[in-house]
Amino acid sequence: MDTSDIIALIAIGVVVLGGIITLIYKIGMNVSKMRETHRRVGNVEEDVGEIKGDVKSLLVKTEGWGVKIDTLWDKRFTISNSPRVLNEFGKKALADSGINDIIDVRYDEILTKVQGMNPANAYQAEICVIKVVNDLNQEAGLILTLQDCAFKAGLDVDSLLLVGAIYIRDRILGALNYQTAVINSHQP
């Protein structure tokens, strides 16, 4: 073996040793990153637990807000008497949209579903009517028709369904033997 062979072997050894050192360094860096990630994940689990508690607290604090917001929203279409009736804007939306035709065709279905909810009084019956009519937007074959009706009246589908529910409500109350004349006599 001559000097050039020895130098070549030393050079190969240096390159291999350098590669091993680089590999060890990169493995060490990855282990360090994995430790940092593990530490962060541990903190995320604690943070998520705290967030869950905050969200539950927030839900409890805002539980009544939905009713208050709904009350503000539906005043656009109804007069806040007991029972509520459509105001001029609501009557115009009813006439322009054609929702009354859809509701009239589905009267028996709506009545059956409301009866199945067993409302104990006129207030509960009204809530049930609104829910059943609002659920019409879940019917795949009906959603396009509802959207067309809403578009005709310049409304969103939820507002259109509220108008439809208030429109049919007195007939449903009568069918449930909640006399609307008695309820209306309590008006100031």
- 3-class secondary structure, 98: coil
Q: How far apart are CA 3 and CA 74, in angstroms?
A: 97
Angle formed by the axes of helices 88-97 and 157-175, to 10°?
A: 100
Q: What are 58-114's pLDDT values in tens digits?
A: 555 544 445 445 555 566 666 666 567 888 888 999 999 999 999 999 999 999 999
pLDDT value of residue 48 = 67
Stretch 36-63: mean pLDDT = 64
Q: Of 164, 49, 53, 151, whose CA–CA distance to 105 is shortest?
A: 164
Cα–Cα dist 70/159, whole Å = 11
pLDDT at 5: 77
97 Cβ contact list (under 8 Å, min separation 6): 149, 150, 152, 153, 155, 160, 163
Q: Which is more confident, 46 or 69?
A: 46
Domain residue spans of the chain: 3-63, 67-185
pLDDT band at 116, cuts 50/70/90? very high
CB 128 within 8 A of CB 119: yes
What rounded mean pLDDT belongs to the chain? 80
CB neighbour burial string for 81-97, b if at least 16 within 10 angstroms, e if fewer = eebbbbbeebeebbeeb
Locate 136 and state its tokens: 């019409």
Closest C-alpha among 72, 97, 80, 76 to residue 88:
76
- pLDDT digit string, tens, across residues 127-161: 999 999 999 988 888 999 999 999 999 988 988 99
User: Distance between alpha carbon 158 and the CA centroid of its chain, in Å?
Assistant: 13
pTM comes to 0.57
The pLDDT score that the predictor gives to residue 37 is 75
- What is the reported pLDDT for 188? 36
Top-confidence residue, 90 or 5: 90
Report the alpha-carbon distance of residue 129 to residue 169 in Å, rounded: 6
Average pLDDT over residues 111-130: 92
Evaluate whether 110 touches 168 at the Cβ level (below 8 Å). yes
